[in-house]
Amino acid sequence: MPGKNSGNKLYILTIDLEEWFHILDLESLADSANWDLFEVRIYRNAYRIIKVLQENKISATFFVLGWIAKKYPDLVKYISDQGHEIGTHSQHHLLIYKSKPELFKKDLIESIELIQSIINKEVIAFRAPGFSIKRDSLWVFKILADIGILYDSSIFPAIRGHGGISDFHFTTPFLLAVDGKIIKEFPINIFNIGKIKIPFSGGGYFRLFPFCLFKLFADNSEYIMTYFHPRDFDSSQPIIKELSILRKLKCYYGLNNSFRKFKQMLDGYNFINLTTASKLIQWGKTPVLYIDKLLNY
């Protein structure tokens, strides 16, 4: 692909730093006390991503799972030292809509304090595990604002297996006003074909579509918020047998070619992290949603 596509569009690169077995909503994987029993693959997969980012001189935002930070602090510090932004992905990868406010707040504070102690920088960005915010779990934003989160990238404006708000109409950055505080929201982008909403910029969606379709969708979108996991590029990871056929398809389809497509994507677009993107956005011209209204949206 000759040249890089930029113009006035924002192409944001984010990585959810978690292990290959951090699959949501499975009984055999739910207890974090058992996670030490699984094979360690995070180093090889993370270093592979970091190397290609270095080659392309890209600073990404890594949403780090607190459990990963506690177990592999050297990896998290290395990522930060390479110039990447570090946000939190919670401590124990709990689904928001299955959690309680008190439990979620405790889990989030634990992750923030732990990550900050490792990187010696303030953690101000958050992404919910699995984008697991539904209409009845919007209370999460009051907690985020209360503990000092300034950037969020958790709203998924389409139907998905874990979370998602299918009738949410904002698919570009906007301001969320919460009890007198402001959170800058970076939702996942989708491509509309009539009334059909097509996610395409991360995870299994990225692996599903051929690169020519990704390029078509990206070139005709106002903004791109990507999201990847190290396991998205690991074709030799163990297969979790408990998964249904459909979920196996979502988790493992396209792994053989995904890293090649990832490098092709990086070659074709000018990617930046959340903080850099925030500095480029004219926030005074973006929509403002008030949490009390959003709760009834």
Amino acid, single-letter form, for residue 288:
V
Residue 297 is predicted with a pLDDT of 52
Average pLDDT over every residue of 156-181: 90
Average pLDDT over every residue of 194-214: 95
How high is the mean pLDDT of the chain?
94
pLDDT reading at 28 higher than 90: no
Tokens at 216, concatenated = 């078509």
Percent of the chain with pLDDT over 70: 97
Q: Which of 161-175, 176-190, 219-233 has the lowest mean pLDDT?
A: 161-175
Tokens at 217, concatenated = 């969708």
Residue 219 is predicted with a pLDDT of 96
End-to-end CA distance of the chain: 42
pLDDT reading at 5 higher than 90: no
Check: CB of residue 263 under 8 Å from CB of residue 271. no
Check: CB of residue 286 under 8 Å from CB of residue 277. no
> pLDDT category, 2, cuts 50, 70, 90?
very low
Q: Which of 36-50, 154-168, 265-279 has the lowest mean pLDDT?
A: 154-168
pLDDT reading at 1 higher than 60: no
Listed in sequence order, the residues at least 6 apart from 204 whose beta carbon sits closer than 8 Å to its beta carbon are 232, 250, 251, 253, 254
Rg (the chain; Cα; Å): 18
Residue 167 is predicted with a pLDDT of 86
The tens digit of pLDDT for each residue in 245-290 reads 999 999 999 999 999 999 999 999 999 999 999 999 999 999 999 9
In this prediction the pTM is 0.95
Average pLDDT over every residue of 208-223: 96
pLDDT reading at 237 higher than 70: yes
10-294, CATH topology level: TIM Barrel (3.20.20)
Tokens at 64, concatenated = 């780090």
Q: Which of 67-76, 94-103, 143-152, 166-175 has the lowest mean pLDDT?
A: 166-175
Residue 209 is predicted with a pLDDT of 96
Q: Which of 4-13, 40-49, 264-273, 284-293 has the lowest mean pLDDT?
A: 4-13
Average pLDDT over every residue of 191-203: 93
